[in-house]
Amino acid sequence: MGVLCGEMYIMSPGPYPVTITLTAQDRLDLEAVICKATSPQRDVFRARIVLLAAAGATNTEIAEELAYTRKTVRKWRGRFAEAGRAELVDAPRSGRPPIYDDTVRAHITALACELPVKHDLPLSPRLGNSFLRSLTDQRAASSEIERRFRVRS
C-alpha cells in the first residue's frame, strides 16, 4: 500500500519486522555466545542479530551494521521469534547418508590403538583392506575404505 502525498505516490516501507522479546536467560546465553572466543562465527552472527533486534533495531539497520543482507537478517530474526534459541541452529542438510556408522568407526579406532599382534596381524603401519572389510557388513571398494577411514592399504 502507498500514500498519496501531493502529486506523488509514496510507497510504505512494507510490513513491520517481527518483535523480539528476550528473557534474562536468553540475553545472557546470547551474550555468552558472542563473548566466547571459541564460538563458531555463524553462531556469533546470529546472536548479534537477535540482540540488535531485541534492542529495537530494524532489519535494515541490523543489515547495515553487520554488513549482511536484509533477507538474512529477516530469516534469523523470524526463526528466533518462532521457536527461540533452539531455532538458531542450521537445519539438517540433504545428502548421501553415511555408509559406516559410529560403531564401526569406533571399532576401527580401538583396533588401531592396539598392538597388531593381539589380532594376529603383521607389525605394519597400514591396515589391510581385507581386515577393514571384515569389520563391516557392507562390501566397499578399497578406495572407499581409504577415503572414509583415511588409511592406506
pLDDT of res. 104: 77
10 sits in which H/E element: strand 8-11
User: In this structure, are residues 88 and 79 in contact, taking their beta carbons and an 8 Å threshold?
Assistant: yes
Q: What is the pLDDT of residues 38-54, one digit of tens each?
A: 989 999 999 999 999 99
- The single residue listed with the C-alpha cell 534492542 is 55
Higher pLDDT, 111 or 3: 111
pLDDT exceeds 70 at position 83: yes
Identify which has the larger pLDDT, 2 or 113.
Answer: 113
